[in-house]
Amino acid sequence: EIVLTQSPATLSLSPGERATLSCRASQSVSSYLAWYQQKPGQAPRLLIYDASNRATGIPARFSGSGSGTDFTLTISSLEPEDFAVYYCQQRSNWPPEDTFGQGTKLEIK
């Protein structure tokens, strides 16, 4: 079973600052990693898939990078609506099993 570890658990930043969120896999997942944003009372929303591809409608300030075991979600300049919880997710090849990281809460400083 692949375990995803996200860091930090909580990140306190101000609007306009750059946010860097980390997701580390317990073994290589190649580029098979996605990132989701979840706001209170809402379903998660897919931001990034295949480690670096933005989903439709996601602003360019969101970018993903990494491969193997270490991945990063970067928000270049925080907007007020970006403060939320972010999860990474991977899928193992066979049998297909999906795993989420424990989440990083991005809060306003």
Partner 1 sequence: QLQLQESGPGLVKPSETLSLTCTVSGGSISSSSYYWGWIRQPPGKGLEWIGSIYYSGSTYYNPSLKSRVTISVDTSKNQFSLKLSSVTAADTAVYYCARQDSSGWFFIWGQGTMVTVSS
99 binds partner 1 (CB under 8 A): yes
Question: For partner 1, which is the closer residue by CB, 12 or 30?
Answer: 30
Of residues 38, 9, 13, 37, the one with CA closest to residue 23 = 9
Please report, as residue ranges, which positions from 12 to 51 form the binding site for partner 1 (by CB under 8 A).
Answer: 32, 34, 36, 38, 42-46, 49-50
55 binds partner 1 (CB under 8 A): yes
Q: In angstroms, give the least distance from the CB of 53 to partner 1.
A: 9
Locus of tokens 């580029």: 31
Number of amino acids touching partner 1 (CB under 8 A): 25
Name the 3-class secondary structure at 40. Answer: coil
- Looking at residue 80, the DSSP 8-state letter turns out to be G
87, 100 contact by CB (below 8 A): yes
Cα separation, 86 vs 102, whole angstroms = 9
- The residues of the shown chain that bind partner 1, judged by CB under 8 A, are 1, 32, 34, 36, 38, 42-46, 49-50, 55, 87, 89, 91, 95-103
